[in-house]
Structure 1
Amino acid sequence: MANNSTIEWTEATWNPTTGCDRVSVGCDNCYALTLAKRLKAMGAEKYQNDGDPRTSGPGFGVTVHPQALSIPFSWRQPRLVSVNSMSDLFHARVPLDFVRQVFAVMAATPQHTYQVLTKRAARLQKVADQLDWPDNVWMGVSVENSEVLDRIDDLRHVPATVRFLSCEPLLGPLDDIDLDGIHWVIAGGESGSGHRPLDPDWVIHLRNACQEARVPFFFKQWGGRTPKAGGRTLEGLIWDEMPVRGLATA
């Protein structure tokens, strides 16, 4: 858990599960996989379970942490919380009962706003009606290129107050994106030694689509060798638009 997150669109992180497996090209340079390997070497207790080397890695095996469920109750001030920055809550190896426990904690701490992001949109859509959705839970899916636009269709079936897209790393144009039923879009480029370049036209088209659909748009970074190498300015402006917390949206 981090009280002060370095992620521009959130304030804290909470990891009741850790570990994951790569499922699409957006996972190729996964920062969490690299970080888990480092944490395992440092002896971090939560990162001692290894994943399949074909899709995961050292310290990155999917693991649930019941002891982490109490953490949000200890935060005195309301905060915006990214859930599972080091995992995917809707991974097939996370039991549905544990997902329900995570949702119960979020419901019991309405002073916080929780941002849950997944690439497992099909499972999300399948189990959505088996979960209780409090108003303080924002649900998102990752959309890195046009090959995974179907994740948005799955998300539209989810009864979350805020449904959002994380188009980061954005790896191709999203010319046919349909933002009906979507309440927020985040976009950004990849960072790290193997980062793939971000075409400005992809970002501008997505920003324009958001403006036409009246959907808040947040541009996180251009990316590069480091996350901040390319800055955050798009056509001379910083785009930090966000949904209004606590406001239910149809």
Structure 2
Amino acid sequence: MQTTNISWCDYSWSPVTGCTRHGPECQNCWAEAFTRRQAAREDAPEYMDDLAWTQENAEVVVDTHADRLDDPLDYTYPDGPGRIFVVSMGDLFHREVPTSFIRRVVAVARQCPEHEFVFLTKRPERAADIDVAWPENAIVGTSVGSGPGGEYPDTTHRIDALRDVDARRWVSFEPLIEPVGEVDLSHIDWAVVGGENAADADRREMDHAWARDILRQCRRDDVAFHFKQSSAATNESGTRLTVENEQYGVYEQREIREYPPVPDVTERARQELTA
């Protein structure tokens, strides 16, 4: 467990580490690059190529950490209860993660109602297929960065798969690497939008018009909207979205960082902590 500077959460917890590339958004994966740099600093042996997050390396790079399961129960939260990003350095719903382990992770979230547990996956189909009772303080999301008819394979189908997850739901449009077009946001509680973080030579730039189009659809469907960042070399850069000021007919930059309502069970748990 640790605090994080990710704008949409307060803490991160990684009982699973590692993943394999699963769509066009993964081309410049920050977590993969960080993991491999860390391994290099620790004098990893000659098989550094085996640490690439490819399908062939899945058994090597995806790992479960049973010793971290109790971290949310034992951690001293410096900023009090908050949002916990579950598995920030991998994908809990990767095929290499046993279903029994996933259930154990969800069970810990249920034991900590004062926190919101934010799950994110590129594999919502598996999240929907697993027989697990999602607690009210969990919110499950999927990543979408490309749309139909664009340069990259369309990943908007993940939103339809996500709707089969019996929990509160959110969509991470990050990295947004092309317009996603009109999307069905029914039964979605939250949308987070962000550009790609990567070196200048590798980065795919996000046009703010693409993010504004998602904002328009969120306003239409009453979905909370959170603009995380523009495309940049570093994380959390350019946090203001260029939007139109309809009153004056000009464009201005505005920080828009909304969150879905806090669940009732979480509100009650927090009140009990301060009683």
Normalising by structure 2, we get a TM-score of 0.82
Could you list the runs of 4 or more consecutive aligned residues of structure 1 that deviate by over 6 angstroms after TM superposition? Answer: 56-60
Number of the residue aligned with 1:175: 181
User: Cα 1:98–1:208, aligned 2, differ >3 Å: closer, same or farther?
Assistant: same
Q: C-alpha offsets along residues 11-62 of structure 1, whole Å, 9 cap, x if unaligned?
A: 01000010000011100000000111122234499xx9x5466448799700
Q: Is residue 252 of structure 2 the alignment partner of residue 246 of structure 1?
A: no
Q: 1:153 aligns with which of 155, 160, 179?
A: 160
Q: In 1, Cα distance between the equivalents of 2:52 and 2:224?
A: 38
- Larger displacement relative to structure 2 (236-245 or 69-78): 69-78
Q: Is residue 120 of structure 2 the alignment partner of residue 113 of structure 1?
A: no
Question: Could you list the runs of 5+ residues in structure 2 that have no partner in the other structure?
Answer: 148-153, 244-252, 266-275
Q: Read off the aligned partner of 2:254 and give its amino acid letter.
A: L
Q: In 2, Cα distance between the equivalents of 1:44 and 1:180?
A: 48
User: Cα 1:8–1:122, aligned 2, differ >3 Å: closer, same or farther?
Assistant: same
Number of the residue aligned with 2:211: 203
Q: Read off the aligned partner of 1:91 and give its amino acid letter.
A: H
Q: 2:91 aligns with which of 88, 93, 114?
A: 88
Say which SS state the counterpart of residue 34 (structure 2) adopts: helix
Aligned identity (percent) is 34
Number of the residue aligned with 2:137: 136
Count of residue correspondences: 242
User: Cα 1:188–1:105, aligned 2, differ >3 Å: closer, same or farther?
Assistant: same
Q: Is the CA contact 2:227–2:239 (under 8 Å) kept in the aligned structure 1?
A: no
Query: RMSD of the TM alignment (CA)?
Result: 2.4
User: Cα 1:192–1:109, aligned 2, differ >3 Å: closer, same or farther?
Assistant: same
Question: Could you list the runs of 5+ residues in structure 1 that have no partner in the other structure?
Answer: none
Q: C-alpha offsets along residues 82-113 of structure 1, whole Å, 9 cap, x if unaligned?
A: 00010100000000000011011111111111
User: Cα 1:225–1:190, aligned 2, differ >3 Å: closer, same or farther?
Assistant: same
Q: Is the CA contact 1:12–1:79 (under 8 Å) kept in the aligned structure 2?
A: yes
Number of the residue aligned with 1:37: 36
Q: CA deviation at 1:231?
A: 3.7
- Larger displacement relative to structure 2 (13-22 or 223-232): 223-232
Q: In 1, Cα distance between the equivalents of 2:264 and 2:142?
A: 20
Normalising by structure 1, we get a TM-score of 0.89
Q: 1:232 aligns with which of 193, 217, 240?
A: 240
Q: In 1, Cα distance between the equivalents of 2:58 and 2:214?
A: 36
The structure having more radius of gyration, on CA atoms, is 2
